[in-house]
A and B are shown apart, each in its own frame.
Chain A
Amino acid sequence: MASLLARRLLQLLPTVFCVSVLIFLLQQLLPGDPALVMAGEDRDPEVIAQIRRQYRLDQPLPIQYLFWIKGVLVGDLGESIRLKMPVSELVLQKLPVTLQLATMAIIIALVIGVTAGVISAVKRDSWVDYLVNVVSLWGISTPNFWLGIMLILFFSVQLGWLPASGYVSPFEDLGMSLKTTIMPAFVLGNALAGVLMRHTRAAMLQALDSDYVRTARAKGLFEQTVVIKHAMRNALTPVITLGALEFGTLLSGAVLTEQIFTIPGFGKLIVDAVFNRDYAVVQGVVLVTATTYILLNLLADIGYILVNPRLRQ
């Protein structure tokens, strides 16, 4: 088991390396010159030339890459041109915010999605099933930005229950923190809830049709016991794994949601950085997100192996 883990971890390195090269190259495809944007309205040619020198934008790409990756290896992600701050500091400041948001979103999605999925499978082809399906389709197809603005108009402007935007850390004030993040987390979790509902429903239907459920029923067990203890347990393992994998998607999905609710997380950081061509920030954030995603995949794999001994060979 230990050697397997070590092997998987070693396989990570080339992946992260490829990702780093890809990030660097993709960014160069972005039209627009950071020096031009940074030079501001007046655009003095001398100032532009100086920015290019200072941030090595006048050097060939491989040299720029080497300087960057050399720093990354010792934990230095470079400096933001726009904010004059170390990127690693920005990342450390923003990552917990997005993690909190994504965690809340996934909990909301799992609770809503799994419950709805199980109910609709058990009540197959009844009006409840149809209703759940329609609602989940609505959830999947509602655009984040629209739902976000509607929620703000209703809960903040009309009712005045929740703050329309902003963010408070849970270490500062837990109640306020929940209040500021509940709407964005719901918006973020909404689409995922729809997806999870469909997967849960399909998995449950399969389980309910299987031999072991028939056997359980034949033994004369209560229907509730059959559904919860026998069918659900087996059906849910893949759904939960799917949820874990979707966590990575949530990190990137937070971009729009954070923009609407002015949550100072990864999403807002990267949007501002892209518009300002603040390369160091874009590279840093994407690298950290990609690495997190790869690690989550690894964890899911390991989880599978632990659950299913047959995969160990």
Chain B
Amino acid sequence: MKHLARAAFAVFALTAGALSASAQTHLRIGLAEDPDVLDPSLARTYVGRIVFASICDKLFDIDEKLNVVPQLALSSETSDDGKQVLIKLRPGVKFHDGEAFDAEAAKFSLERHMNMQGSFRKPEVSSIEKVEVVDPLTIKLVLKAPFSPLIAQLTDRAGMMVSPKAAKEAGDKFGLKPVCAGPYKFVERVQQDRIVVEKFADYWNKANVFIDKITYLPVTDSTVRLANLRAGQLDLIERPLATDLKDMRADPKLKVATALELGYRSLNLNVGKGDASKVFADKRIREALSLAIDRKALNDVVFNGEFVPGNQWVSPKHPYYQESVPVPARDLARAKKLIAESGVSTPIAIDLMTPNNPETRQVAEILQAMTAEAGFDMKIRVTEFATSLNEAEAGRYQGYLIGWSGRTDPDGNIYTFAKTGQPNNYSAYSDPEVDAALDEARLKSSVPDRKAVYGKIVKKLTTEGGIIYLYHVQNIITYSARLEGFKPISDGLVRVVGLKFKS
């Protein structure tokens, strides 16, 4: 009888074990905002990219060291004149609707990015003249002119491939039910509430996909997001506050991963738009302002020293950072001297436009205090985001605290900001030498060659340009200690392949 009971218990235990082993694993990710439409051609939000990371694979990806690595493409080869790019595609890849991914599908997706009405990818792929199918697993991009940042563009949304069949059927409503070739397929979305995806059985790399289902939940308030993680409602959150880092690290139930962002935070100056720009007409004033700022102290005070002080459009850890122009130390004496030489009388009044969030407001206050010692009088104007864009466009500002999330290729961090007449050049900065160098860097292909070209203008841009670079943010991801396999990458996105719960 005893044996029987023991045997029965063993059977029960085994079944229970088997049952729990086969229980669906479910990952809940807390997002800082609700993404916009989930169509790779029409999407434009940063959080949207976090969701895309699980549903839409790209031709290429980036790794921890910012190298371009294959994803749906296997390799790329650029012709000697730089005007043709041959891309080999991965065989045996399927879209979520069972359609095969091949050269025709890749051509369709790229042309959709290029031509679709309302496509936000147009500027990213505008260098492509046409896409040709060479064989079922090879495409050729014919370019209007050599454009070295192109492959890097294909590591983001412009490189995402969509099922031609689904895209043709859905038209501009594709984003309501996206069909791509990523590790997870789209299940449902309730606006501002959740986005649910589940494991795609035919994924090309399915051996490394361990979690069955992922739910993305937008929780706007960063304190509440962290509280949810602590309460076990969420398993992973993006962008908690830097000031909470100490607490999060001290909590044994949590793990924190950081990766330095690709972009930067800066103080943009109006140097050429309307009357407001007069104060900065003399470039010595711009340099004096930059010299009056102690970037290290700023980082220590506002961000507990967690971020990285910076002075260029890429961080000091980036391969394109110009070591010859290091982050300048604060130099009040020289700042005062430059102002005296310029003949402008102090205090120099500056209208500083600042977005409305606690961290940036604090940055503004510290800048105000630091620059006051050199003779500046900053008036902080807290402005809601959409309004601030309008003000900047209209030239109704003198200083504007803003950030740029950054692109893999350095071109994406500087070209549209510093070249004459480009859309992000709010400063209305214009310099023929800078314009020529920015164009030249697009034509060169090797890193040392391009770095040398940027090297010619870096000094000019960082001392007298329209942008005073301040610091680089650490993209913070905090997750439950039960989760393993997470790799922080500089773009801050959450790659779900390889993630698993500890058994």
Q: List 30 A-B contacts (CB under 8 A).
A: A33-B390, A37-B385, A37-B389, A39-B44, A41-B424, A42-B123, A42-B124, A42-B423, A43-B423, A43-B424, A44-B120, A47-B120, A50-B118, A51-B118, A82-B36, A84-B37, A90-B191, A149-B224, A156-B228, A156-B231, A157-B230, A157-B231, A160-B231, A164-B228, A164-B233, A165-B217, A260-B221, A264-B190, A264-B193, A272-B192
Shortest distance between the CB of A173 and any CB in chain B (Å): 14
Within 8 A of B (CB), among A85-100: 85, 90, 93-94
Within 8 A of B (CB), among A179-224: none
B176 interface contact, C-beta 8 A? yes
Within 8 A of A (CB), among B293-326: none
- Assess the A262–B118 pair: CB atoms within 8 A: no
Q: Given contacts A42-B424, A51-B118, A275-B385, could you give 20 more A-B pairs where the C-beta distance is less than 8 Å? A: A31-B391, A33-B393, A37-B385, A43-B423, A43-B424, A46-B122, A54-B118, A82-B37, A84-B39, A85-B191, A93-B190, A93-B191, A156-B231, A165-B219, A260-B221, A260-B224, A262-B192, A262-B218, A264-B191, A264-B193
Shortest distance between the CB of A101 and any CB in chain B (Å): 13
A163 interface contact, C-beta 8 A? yes
Contact digits for B212-228, partner A, Cβ 8 Å, 1 yes 0 no: 00000111110110011
- Assess the B190–A33 pair: CB atoms within 8 A: no
A252 interface contact, C-beta 8 A? no
Within 8 A of A (CB), among B183-223: 190-194, 217-221, 223
A153 interface contact, C-beta 8 A? yes
Contacts of B37 in A (CB 8 A): 82-84
A122 interface contact, C-beta 8 A? no
Given A41-B44, A42-B423, A42-B424, also A164-B227 (CB < 8 A): yes
Residue of A with least CB distance to B423: A43
- Assess the B122–A32 pair: CB atoms within 8 A: no
Within 8 A of B (CB), among A153-177: 153, 156-157, 160, 163-167
Bound complex: CA A167 to CA B217 (Å): 11
Bound complex: CA A231 to CA B387 (Å): 55
Partner of A275, one of B192, B384, B416: B384
- Assess the A275–B386 pair: CB atoms within 8 A: yes
Within 8 A of A (CB), among B390-409: 390-391, 393, 404-405
Contacts of A83 in B (CB 8 A): 36-37, 191
Contacts of A94 in B (CB 8 A): 191-192
Could you count the A-B residue pairs with CB atoms below 8 Å apart for me: how many are there? Answer: 135
Bound complex: CA A43 to CA B123 (Å): 9
- Assess the B390–A36 pair: CB atoms within 8 A: yes
- Assess the A262–B123 pair: CB atoms within 8 A: no
Interface on chain B toward A: helix, strand, loop, or mixed SS? loop
Bound complex: CA A84 to CA B424 (Å): 26
Bound complex: CA A47 to CA B119 (Å): 8
- Assess the B191–A166 pair: CB atoms within 8 A: no
- Assess the B42–A84 pair: CB atoms within 8 A: yes
Contacts of A153 in B (CB 8 A): 227
Shortest distance between the CB of A145 and any CB in chain B (Å): 8
Contacts of B61 in A (CB 8 A): none
Bound complex: CA A46 to CA B122 (Å): 9
Given A82-B36, A157-B231, also A32-B172 (CB < 8 A): no
Contacts of A54 in B (CB 8 A): 117-118
- Assess the B416–A166 pair: CB atoms within 8 A: no
B168 interface contact, C-beta 8 A? no
- Assess the B386–A36 pair: CB atoms within 8 A: yes
Bound complex: CA A93 to CA B189 (Å): 12
- Counting chain B residues whose Cβ lies within 8 A of the other chain, the interface size class is 35 or more
Contacts of B191 in A (CB 8 A): 83, 85, 90, 93-94, 264, 269
Bound complex: CA A30 to CA B384 (Å): 11
- Assess the A163–B224 pair: CB atoms within 8 A: no
Contact digits for B426-455, partner A, Cβ 8 Å, 1 yes 0 no: 000000000000000000000000000000
Shortest distance between the CB of A267 and any CB in chain B (Å): 10
Bound complex: CA A205 to CA B225 (Å): 46
Contacts of B194 in A (CB 8 A): 166
Contacts of B386 in A (CB 8 A): 30-34, 36-37, 275-277
Contacts of B175 in A (CB 8 A): 84
Shortest distance between the CB of B29 and any CB in chain A (Å): 13
Bound complex: CA A152 to CA B222 (Å): 13
- Assess the B231–A50 pair: CB atoms within 8 A: no
Contacts of B347 in A (CB 8 A): none
Bound complex: CA A38 to CA B194 (Å): 22
Shortest distance between the CB of B43 and any CB in chain A (Å): 9
Contacts of A37 in B (CB 8 A): 385-386, 389
Shortest distance between the CB of A182 and any CB in chain B (Å): 15
Centre residue among A36, A39, A42, A94 by max chain B CB count within 10 A: A42
A259 interface contact, C-beta 8 A? yes
Bound complex: CA A44 to CA B404 (Å): 15
Residue of B with least CB distance to A161: B231
Shortest distance between the CB of B191 and any CB in chain A (Å): 6
- Assess the B405–A41 pair: CB atoms within 8 A: yes
Given A32-B387, A33-B390, also A47-B233 (CB < 8 A): no
A60 interface contact, C-beta 8 A? no
Residue of A with least CB distance to B424: A43
- Assess the A272–B224 pair: CB atoms within 8 A: no
Contacts of A82 in B (CB 8 A): 36-37
Given A260-B221, A262-B219, also A156-B190 (CB < 8 A): no
Contact digits for A274-290, partner B, Cβ 8 Å, 1 yes 0 no: 01110000000000000
Residue of A with least CB distance to B405: A41
Shortest distance between the CB of B177 and any CB in chain A (Å): 11
- Assess the B192–A44 pair: CB atoms within 8 A: no
Residue of A with least CB distance to B44: A40
List 8 tightest A-B contacts by C-beta distance, closest first. A40-B44, A32-B386, A264-B193, A264-B192, A43-B423, A31-B387, A156-B231, A44-B123
Shortest distance between the CB of B424 and any CB in chain A (Å): 6
A75 interface contact, C-beta 8 A? no
Contact digits for B39-53, partner A, Cβ 8 Å, 1 yes 0 no: 100101100000000
Residue of B with least CB distance to A160: B231
B34 interface contact, C-beta 8 A? yes
Within 8 A of B (CB), among A50-105: 50-51, 54, 82-85, 90, 93-94
Bound complex: CA A152 to CA B228 (Å): 9
Bound complex: CA A31 to CA B37 (Å): 24
Contact digits for A211-252, partner B, Cβ 8 Å, 1 yes 0 no: 000000000000000000000000000000000000000000
Given A47-B120, A264-B192, A269-B191, also A166-B423 (CB < 8 A): no
